């Protein structure tokens, strides 16, 4: 799901400790940096800290 990244999203993500990255997902294999479902492992932590205009959130994300 493509989501626009703007000041409000960055601010609220920091304020509410928004978890959305593979790094916080039950399907992420940190040793190899891979997704166990074999999706491209993205977005990664720090994705909101870039100049990107949007971020693609994974619908299979499961919080660990
Ligand atoms: S299921 Fe989605 S969010 Fe979870 S590790 Fe795989 S690609 Fe990342």
CB 14 near ligand 1, within 6 Å: no
Report how far residue 35's alpha carbon sits from residue 59's, in angstroms, rounded to the nearest whole number.
13
Report the relative pairing of strands 34-35 and 28-29 from DSSP bridges: antiparallel
Report domain extents, the chain.
2-56
Quote the pLDDT of residue 45.
94
List per-residue pLDDT tens for the chain, 64 residues long: 999 999 999 999 999 999 999 999 999 999 999 999 999 999 999 999 999 999 999 999 999 9
CB 55 near ligand 1, within 6 Å: no
Residue owning the nearest CA to atom 8 of ligand 1: 22
Report how far residue 14's alpha carbon sits from residue 30's, in angstroms, rounded to the nearest whole number.
23
**How many other C-beta atoms are found inside a 10 Å radius of the C-beta of residue 57?**
14
Quote the pLDDT of residue 27.
98
């Amino acid at each position: 799901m493509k989501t626009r990244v703007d000041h409000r999203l960055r601010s609220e993500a920091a304020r509410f400790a928004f978890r959305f990255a593979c790094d916080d997902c039950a399907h992420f294999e940190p040793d190899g940096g891979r997704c166990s479902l074999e999706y491209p492992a993205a977005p990664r932590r720090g994705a909101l800290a870039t100049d990107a205009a949007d971020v693609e959130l994974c619908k299979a994300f499961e919080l660990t």
